[in-house]
């Protein structure tokens, strides 16, 4: 599936996109990857570690469940899949104290929804409508899969991200309190935002 927006092609991700997907996923996490993994891997090696995971064929976060904006290189991405898949993710290797800090977000998940796990556009390419187009792809995936709702977790102080999803029809479903931690640079907790999906309508981003 391809489309053009000011010369930008929108397409399904491929394994060769893994490193770019990793960079953008880290950007979308807005400090979450660093918070969880800083004791396991140096910051300069973080993208490589995430890329190895995303290059695999299995798991919700892998390249198979990503869609990208491409202009002679990946400049934006979105990763989305059924929220229930998060329950199968291995966390045994992550620092237990860090996982516990973020646990309220997991506890509040809408497990019956289709989840936007991450979406990001490189800074110099923002404000061109790219992120909105990527979100429409996720809406289409949820529609085709027959989900009644689409959800996303957004840091409460990430005003730009909240505004993006509000524009695409999402509303705050739950406000989640997240314990403060000196290594977590967010205040106000997290927002679980959701929108209904019209299962009788198939969208197209062509």
Q: According to the model, what pLDDT value does residue 115 have?
A: 97
pLDDT bin (cut points 50, 70, 90) of residue 206 is very low
Asked whether the predicted pLDDT for residue 171 surpasses 70, the reply is: yes
Select from 23, 11, 37, 25 the least CA-distant residue to 98: 37
Q: Provide the whole-model pTM.
A: 0.89
Distance CA 55, CA 43 (A): 19
pLDDT bin (cut points 50, 70, 90) of residue 94 is confident
Residue 12, Ramachandran bin (φ over 0: left; ψ between -120 and 50: alpha; else beta): beta
Asked whether the predicted pLDDT for residue 102 surpasses 50, the reply is: yes
Q: According to the model, what pLDDT value does residue 3 have?
A: 46
Asked whether the predicted pLDDT for residue 204 surpasses 70, the reply is: no
Report pLDDT digits (tens) over 118-152.
Answer: 999 999 999 899 999 999 999 999 999 999 999 99
Domains of the chain, earliest start first: 4-196 (3.40.630.30)
**Mean pLDDT of the 6-35 span:** 93
At how many degrees (to 10) do helices 46-54 and 18-29 cross?
120
Q: Quick one: what percent of the chain has pLDDT higher than 70?
A: 91
Asked whether the predicted pLDDT for residue 186 surpasses 50, the reply is: yes
Q: Which helix (H) or strand (E) holds 140?
A: helix 130-145
pLDDT bin (cut points 50, 70, 90) of residue 4 is very low
- The DSSP string of 43-60 is GGGHHHHHHHHHTSSSST
């Amino acid at each position: 599936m391809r489309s053009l927006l000011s010369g930008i092609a929108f397409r399904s991700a491929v394994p060769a996109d893994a490193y770019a997907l990793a960079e953008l996923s880290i950007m979308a996490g807005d400090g979450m990857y660093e918070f969880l993994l800083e004791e396991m891997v140096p910051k300069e090696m973080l993208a490589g570690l995430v890329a190895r995971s995303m290059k695999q064929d299995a798991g919700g976060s892998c390249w198979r469940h990503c869609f990208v904006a491409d202009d002679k290189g990946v400049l934006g991405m979105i990763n989305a899949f059924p929220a229930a898949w998060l329950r199968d993710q291995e966390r045994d290797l992550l620092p237990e104290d860090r996982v516990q800090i973020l646990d309220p977000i997991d506890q509040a998940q809408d497990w019956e929804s289709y989840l936007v796990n991450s979406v990001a556009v490189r800074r110099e390419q923002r404000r061109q409508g790219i992120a909105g187009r990527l979100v429409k792809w996720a809406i289409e995936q949820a529609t085709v899969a027959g989900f009644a709702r689409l959800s996303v977790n957004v840091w409460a102080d990430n005003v730009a991200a909240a505004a993006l999803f509000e524009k695409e029809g999402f509303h705050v479903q739950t406000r989640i309190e997240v314990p403060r931690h000196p290594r977590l640079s967010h205040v106000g907790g997290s927002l679980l935002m959701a929108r209904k999906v019209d299962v009788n309508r198939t969208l197209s981003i062509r």
